[in-house]
Amino acid sequence: MNDYIQKGTMDFRKANLALFAGAFSTFANLYMTQPVLPTLSKVFRISPATASLSLSLTTVALAISMLIVGSLSEAWGRKPIMTFSMIAVAILTLLIAFAPNYHMLLVLRIIQGVVFAGLPAIAMAYLGEEIEPASLGAAMGLYISGNSIGGLAGRIIMGTISDIFSWRIGMITIGVISLLVAIAFYFLLPASKHFKPEKLAFKPLVQSLVMHLKDPALLSLFGVGFLLMGSFVTMYNYIGFQLLDPPYSLSQTIVGWIFLIYLVGTFSSAWMGGLADNHGRYKILLSGIGLMFGGAALSLVGHLILKILGIAIFTFGFFGSHAIASGWVGRQATHDKAQASSLYLFFYYVGSSIGGTSGGIFWSKFGWGGVISIILIFLIVATVLTYMINQITSRNSAAQG
């Protein structure tokens, strides 16, 4: 009996809506502090680098937790962990809104980082188990779009409401929306039919992770993910500081809406992914990194329109490059592909944490030129690693063929 969820059915619509909402909520909460980093810096009288820890510590906690939560779900089930994650995230956002000081805010954000892992680590596994193979692509695409739209909406809601009222009201708004979304998620998501609980076994998990790390091509791909995300978060963490300052002196609301540039990534990830299928991953990944390099350099120009254009080109290149690199991981891994993808995401989010915070040191000492200099260094290293990946895979192909 075929009891997989099929396209066109009510269960398919419910599952897609639930996971889209879940992704929306997760990434809206994850990135909610990014547009208000200048505000946090001013309110708590801390440096930009210290303010960026409200995002960096959260993403590194998420990165570490994702390696563990996926294994826990093999024993405890998919839906219960995802539902708990979403409710806990919403409650923590409401608590963060009332944090009496910055230290407490950071502690709550670290706990939130751990809890965040419950959805991204499991959602794809749920889809792979419950959706019929012919409909999986459409379901996965909608889930991924929830990631980007959630991240975008969280930044815009936070930036706009904090400008009109305060950053605390902005967080309360996101927390209430997230709580309602979590309740809807619980009632909408169909229960798992194909999940088979397994015993918790961390030894095979560790052995598998170590084997992936011994593969030089995979390790280089993980490095590329680290550097791409490190560059991207650094750009968006500190562009707000520059645009709020003279000579631009833009409002918090307008700076929040700058994140609409993210929408170019929705197009570039699919378009450049298609180009990679036709012209090879190596050439198109290099092209994407080149676009990031050129866009970052263009953002050094003082004219606001050219600066925004540079950021748009940079963003276009990032999403395309990330799509190619993450897809290359799945092709390169010979076993435990899900674990290889988790490792890529681990390095990706650690890059976000380290790049995002180190960029603050460069901003404080050297201004926007310092921020762009660290981004360009990251991208040069990513280019070298991409060349190494191509050399390794070409040698392996020649040896096998």
pLDDT score, position 151: 83
Q: Which range is least confidently modeled, 106-115, 258-267, 336-345?
A: 336-345
Number of CB atoms found within 10 A of residue 210's CB: 9
Nearest to 316 by CA among 357, 275, 349, 255: 275
Instruction: Return the DSSP state at 250.
Output: -
**C-alpha angle 57-60-66 in degrees, rounded to nearest 5:** 135
Confidence of residue 73 (pLDDT cuts 50, 70, 90): low
d(CA 210, CA 200): 18
DSSP-assigned states of every residue in 73-124? HHHH-HHHHHHHHHHHHHHHHHHHHT-SSHHHHHHHHHHHHHHHTTTHHHHH
Sign of CA dihedral 233, 234, 240, 241: positive
Category of 197 on φ-ψ map: left (φ > 0), alpha (ψ -120 to 50) or beta: beta
pLDDT tens by residue, 286-324: 999 999 999 999 999 999 999 999 999 999 999 889 888
pLDDT tens by residue, 202-234: 677 777 778 888 999 999 999 999 999 999 999
Tokens of 168: 């605390």
d(CA 90, CA 84): 10
| Structural domains present in the chain | 9-190 (1.20.1250.20), 201-401 (1.20.1250.20)
